[in-house]
Amino acid sequence: MSAASESVGGLDAERARWDEVRVEFEQGHRTRLNCAIHLLTTPLGLFALLGLMARLDPVVPVIATEVYLLAIRRRVPAGVWWANALVFAVLVVAAVSLDLPIAILLASMSIAWLGQDLAHRLTGEAPYADRYRGLRSAYLLWAEHCLLLMPLVLVAARHSKGSLLGWLVPRVTVRKAHFTSPHALEALATLERWILSHDVPRDRTTHWWQHELDDEEGAYGAMAEVVRSDEIERLLRGQHGERAVVIPVPEMNEVYVTGPAGTLSSDRVFYRSHVDGPFAVFPGVVLYRCMVGINRNERIRTVFDLERTAAGDFGVVLDAGEVLAFDYHRSPHRIEPVASGVEQAASETNEAVLRMNLKLHYAVAPAWLAPWARLLARLSARYNTSARRLFLRTLRPRTMRDRWTARAVVAQTVTWDWIARSVGHRNLLHLTALLVASAISGSLLPLVLGGSFVHYLLYIATFASRRDVSFGVFRRDAVFHKTLSTTILGGLYATCFELDPVSLALVVLGFGTAAFAAARLGLDRTYFGQELGLVPRRLEARLPYSLLPHPMILGSIVGLVGIHLMDPFRSAWPWLVPTHVLFYLVHLAQEVYDVHERDADPGPGRAVVAPRVG
C-alpha cells in the first residue's frame, strides 16, 4: 500500500471518529438553552486557561494554540476548523491583552465548569462525559473530549433547535382565546345571573374577591370552573410550552363590574396608560392577568401600547366568552371607548350597560423555576391587595391625606408607565448594575464591556427569530442599548480627544451618513418593521441608498474607524472599535445573505430590501 493510500485511510478513520463523537455529543446538546450556555462557558474556560498560560509568558498561549490547531487539523471538517481557529484567535488576543490576575482567571474557569453543569441540569440533557465515565479508556476519551470540545460546541449550536439568541428576543405576551367547553360557558352564564341578582350600582365599580363569592347560588363554583378551564391552560402553555408550570393565584382573582363610560368608576383612571404591577424585574417568570368577558361588550377596548399589528395599534374588544391574557407586571395598557359603541347602550337593560369581567391570575415559568414562580405569586398577591385598598381610598378622597395619596398614586402610575414604555425596568437595572460594578472596581471596564454590545445581539437575534416579536419592546430595548453604547463610545472619545483632522472628518462623515440613512427609513423601518410585517414593503431609492449599499452599517464602520485613528483612544482602548466593527460585519453578513429561521416569516407583508440598524 502506498504512503498516499495510507494517508487517505488514516484521514477517513479520523473523520469517521469525529462523526461518531459529534453524533454522541449532539444527543446531549440539542436544546437552545444548553447550547447557548455552552457557547458562553466554553470560550470563558478556554480564555481563563490561555490567560493562565499568558502569565508565564505572552508567547506561551500563542504556541499552545498553534500546536492545538495543528493537532486537530485532520480530525475535524475544514469549515469547523476555521471557525474554531477564529474563536481561538480572539481568545488568545483577549487573554494576552487583558492580562487579568490569577484569581480572576481561576474564578472564570470555575464559573465555566459550573455553568456547563448547570446547563445540563436545567435542560435535563445528559453530558457527553456520562457516556465514557467508568470505562477503562475513560482518561483517553476525556482527553479527546477536551481536545474537540470547542468544535463540538460550535457544531451542536448550529444544529440546535431554534435560534441560539432567541431568548434575547422580546416576545408578545398578550394572548386572546375563546371559551368553547359547555362547562366554562355555563359557568360564565351562572356568574352573570349572580351579578344581576345583586343591586349593582352603575355610578362606581364593584369588586368581589374570589373568596367572597356565595357558593349557595353557585358563584364560587362557577368561578373555580373558569379558573381551571382547559382554554386558559392551553392559552398559557401555548406561550411557554407543555413542560411549564402554571400556578393559579386565587388571592388576586376577582369579579369586576363597572358602569357605562362617563360614570365615576375606576375605569376612568384606566383610560391612562399604566402597568398593573411593580415586579417587572423577575427573570424567567410571567405573572399573567387573564381578563374574562362575562357579558357582551361593544363599548370598551383594551390597547397595549408596546404591541403593534400591520393595521396599527394592538387593541382588543373583550366580548362574552373570551379571555385576554397579558403580563401583569410588564405590559403597559389602557382602555378606551369604541367609537361605534360609546353611546350604544345607555338605552338598554342593566346587563347591557354594565361591563362584567373576571380578573384571573397565573404565575407561569419553566418547571425548574417553580419556587421562583411561587415567590412572585405571593409578592404579587400582597401587592395587589394593598394597592386595591389604597386605590379605593383615592376614588373619593375626603381628607387632605387622601388627596395627597391620590396625587402620589397618579405620579407613581405615570412614572412607572413611562419607564415601562420608554426605558424598560430591566434595562434600567442593567445600567445600574454596570455603574455599581464600575464604581466598586474603580474601572470603566464593566460599564464598557456590559454596555457597548447588547444592541448588536438584539439586532442579530430579532432578525433571525421573527416569530411573535413584541415590536414595541424590541424597539425600546434596541434604542436604549444603542444610545447607551453611543454615549459610552462618545464619552471615551471625548476624554481621549486631541485634534486629529482625519479622525474627526471620518467620525462626522461616517456617523452623519448613518444618521441620514436612518432618517430616510424612519424609526419603524430602521428597526425591522418591514421584516416583521408591520409596515408596507418599500424599496428605498433616495440618498444615501442610491449611492451606497447598507449605508447605515457602512457609515457607522467609517465613523468607528475615525475614532480608532485617534492615538490616545487607540492606546487606551485598543480592542473596543475592532469589536464594534466585528459585530457590524456579522450583522451585515446576516442581512446580505438573509439569515433567519425560514419558518419564522411573519407573512406576506415582510421583505428584505434594504440595510437596517446601524
Domain-embedded: residue 5? no
**How much is the pLDDT for 32?**
79
* CA 165 – CA 178 distance, rounded (Å): 33
Comparing CA positions, the residue from 275, 328, 285 lying closest to residue 305 is 275
Q: Domain containing 80: what range?
A: 11-161
> Which amino acid, 570?
R
Domain-embedded: residue 415? no
Domain-embedded: residue 608? no
Which has more pLDDT, 272 or 52?
Answer: 52
| 502 and 538 share one domain | yes
63-77 pLDDT per residue, tens: 999 999 999 998 999
Give me the mean pLDDT over the 128-139 stretch. 85
Give Dmax (Cα) for the chain: 103
| 147 and 176 share one domain | no
Domain-embedded: residue 446? yes
The answer to whether the beta carbons of residues 520 and 540 sit under 8 Å apart is yes
The pLDDT > 90 percentage for the chain reads 54
| CATH number, residue 248 | 2.60.120
150-163 pLDDT per residue, tens: 999 999 887 776 66
pLDDT at 599 over 60: no
| 120 and 201 share one domain | no
Q: Which three cell numbers stand for residue 98?
A: 487583558
pLDDT at 46 over 60: yes
| 296 and 360 share one domain | yes
Which has more pLDDT, 340 or 44?
Answer: 44
Q: Flag the least confident range among 42-51, 180-189, 241-250, 499-508.
A: 241-250
Q: How far apart, in Å, are the Cα atoms of 423 and each of 210, 266, 286, 429?
A: 35, 27, 19, 10
| 472 and 568 share one domain | yes
| 317 and 223 share one domain | yes
Give me the mean pLDDT over the 390-406 stretch. 74
| 398 and 430 share one domain | no
> Which amino acid, 462?
T
> Which amino acid, 474?
F
pLDDT at 577 over 80: yes
* Total number of domains constituting the chain: 3
Q: How far apart, in Å, are the Cα atoms of 142 and each of 8, 110, 138, 139?
A: 26, 18, 6, 5
The length of the chain, given as a count of residues: 614
pLDDT at 240 over 90: no
Domain-embedded: residue 6? no
Q: How far apart, in Å, are the Cα atoms of 63 and each of 49, 50, 97, 113?
A: 13, 11, 16, 25
304-362 pLDDT per residue, tens: 988 876 556 788 899 999 999 999 999 999 988 886 544 444 444 444 578 899 999 99
Listing DSSP states for 114-141 in one string gives HHHHHHHHHHTPPPGGGGTTTSTTHHHH
| 31 and 149 share one domain | yes
Domain-embedded: residue 414? no
| 383 and 430 share one domain | no
Residue that is last in its domain, among 352, 383, 409? 409
pTM exceeding 0.85: no
Domain-embedded: residue 595? yes
Q: ω into residue 544 within 30 of 0, thus cis?
A: yes
* CA 378 – CA 179 distance, rounded (Å): 28
| 64 and 179 share one domain | no
Tell how far CA 522 is from the center of its chain: 23
Listing DSSP states for 351-417 in one string gives HHHSEEEEEEEEEEE-GGGHHHHHHHHHHHHHHHHHHHHHHHHHHS--SHHHHHHHHHHHHHHHHHH
Q: Flag the least confident range among 163-172, 353-362, 391-400.
A: 391-400
**How much is the pLDDT for 71?**
93
Domain-embedded: residue 2? no
Residue that is last in its domain, among 380, 409, 438? 409
Residue that is last in its domain, among 409, 443, 474? 409
Where residue 206 falls among pLDDT bands split at 50, 70, 90?
confident
Where residue 6 falls among pLDDT bands split at 50, 70, 90?
very low
| 151 and 181 share one domain | no
Q: Flag the least confident range among 12-26, 347-361, 375-389.
A: 347-361
Where residue 405 falls among pLDDT bands split at 50, 70, 90?
confident
**How much is the pLDDT for 583?**
93
* CA 499 – CA 381 distance, rounded (Å): 59
| 230 and 247 share one domain | yes
